Structure 1
Amino acid sequence: MASYHRVLRVFDRTVKDKNVECDCDIHSWEILINGQRWFGKIRLIGFVDVFFLICYSTNDRFEHGIIIYKEDEVICDTLVAANRSAEDLGLDFVNKKEVEGKKGVAKKYFNFIDEAGNLDYIITSLGHEVDLRTDYSPSELRKFEIRLRRTNDPHWKGPIHRGIAQHTVPELMHDAIRYGIISNAEMTARIMGHFAGGTHTEDTMRKWASAISGGNVGHSAMA
């Protein structure tokens, strides 16, 4: 099997991308994925909009891995493009009070629990397994619950949190400046309109929608 870096490139990602938030090893006893424990070396590679969990061996040899989507807009559009329903996948929306009795309020499915006194972060979202394929079936989309033990390493605490959590509007504004995505003059109008224009999030959404519908976008395609 090839290096996990080749798997990342299938998704147009590298560990040198501007929007990499964390790229670190996770001990197998520190993480549960849908109640299961992976054995071997585990790499957490977090971006602004998604994160990867990759099991690898000597010389970065890829063994298996998953991608988890963090942006609700991408999650919703991916479900629509794949003709899958969140209910069928057991994926609950977390903003029930906002949605009930109101029209035009989008459902939010990404759930991140970070409670004081809890030893673990708990992430629930949409994802699927990854490998070197460029085609994926809509049936491979799954709900994932990930329990990740909080790190005691002050150097990695912030990067890991940013890598697995959804970014708030102030954080997205900071991201826009940090990554040079949009100019200061455009920032308010475009970010408050939900962070448009040239981001990995928009690119992911566009590629998934096009790929699932049969378009040739140079990205992993659902077939």
Structure 2
Amino acid sequence: MASYHRVLRTFGRTIDNNTLECDYDIHPWDILIDNQRWPGKIRLVGYIDVFFVMCYSGESRFEHGIIIYKDDEIIRQLLKKAGLRPEDRPIQLECINDKEEKEALRKYYSLTTEKDGSKHTIVSLGHPINLSTKYPKSKLKKYTIVLHKGHTPAMQKEILRGVMQHGIARLLTDALKLGVVSTAELISKVKETILSGSSLDAVTTRSMNALTSTNPHNISLSGDKL
């Protein structure tokens, strides 16, 4: 089996990307994926728009893993391309701003933190990953991940950055840090946020732009090479 670094590369990602937010080993007792505990070594690798949870052995031998989408625009477009609705099985994603009538502004990515701050719960759309660049749409599903916040202040900060969405404040920071959006795009996003009262958390649309499907049973997900 290949290394998890090679799996990341099939998604156009490396741990050297400027968009990297988190790259940490997670103890198996510190994470639950759909109420299951994965044995072995677990790596959390987070980027601006997605994060990966991967089980590996040895130095970096990939065993299995999942990708979780953090960007609501990408989530909406993935479902649209797959011909699925948030309420369909096995998706069943709840809209967390259900009073929003405009579908383009509906949010499905959920991140909550326990009152004592000890753990985060993430609910979002994702799918299993491997070395493939295309996955059947039947692999899309809702995942619930319960994650310990981390054992040191530095780890806590990086883990939170890895799983949290980008609000306007972080969008401004990333625009300066990465140059991933133009001034016009930034102004447009801020203007739309002010008018709608909702923050638009999409910063990149690489995954969304790669979505094509020639087979009604298959959809090209984030593993597509661009």
The separation in 1 between residues aligned to 2:22 and 2:65, in whole angstroms, is: 16
* Compared CA separation, residues 122 and 69, structure 1 to 2 (3 A): same
Q: Which residue does 1:91 correspond to in 2?
A: 93
8 Å contact from structure 1 (residues 169, 192) kept in 2? no
Structure 1 stretch displaced more, 138-147 or 158-167: 158-167
Q: Secondary structure at the match of 2:125?
A: strand
Q: Which residue does 2:20 correspond to in 1?
A: 20
- For 1:85-133, what per-residue CA distance to the aligned partner results, in whole angstroms no more than 9, with x for missing partners? 211122111111x32xx45663211000024315210000000000011
Query: Amino acid of the residue matched to residue 205 of structure 1?
Result: M
Q: Which residue does 1:36 correspond to in 2?
A: 36
- For 1:40-70, what per-residue CA distance to the aligned partner results, in whole angstroms no more than 9, with x for missing partners? 0000000010000000011200000000000
TM-score, with length taken from structure 1: 0.87
Q: Which residue does 1:204 correspond to in 2?
A: 207
- Runs (4+) of structure 1 exceeding 4 A deviation are 183-186, 190-196
Structure 1: which 5+ residue stretches go unaligned? Answer: none
Q: Percent identity?
A: 43
Q: Which residue does 1:166 correspond to in 2?
A: 165
* Corresponding pairs, count: 213
Alignment root-mean-square deviation, CA? 2.4
* Compared CA separation, residues 219 and 50, structure 1 to 2 (3 A): closer
The separation in 1 between residues aligned to 2:2 and 2:75, in whole angstroms, is: 29
The separation in 1 between residues aligned to 2:147 and 2:174, in whole angstroms, is: 24
The separation in 2 between residues aligned to 1:139 and 1:186, in whole angstroms, is: 34
Q: Which residue does 1:57 correspond to in 2?
A: 57
Q: Which residue does 2:196 correspond to in 1?
A: none
Q: Secondary structure at the match of 2:106?
A: coil
Q: Which residue does 2:111 correspond to in 1?
A: 112
Structure 2: which 5+ residue stretches go unaligned? Answer: 193-199
TM-score, with length taken from structure 2: 0.86
The separation in 2 between residues aligned to 1:135 and 1:82, in whole angstroms, is: 12
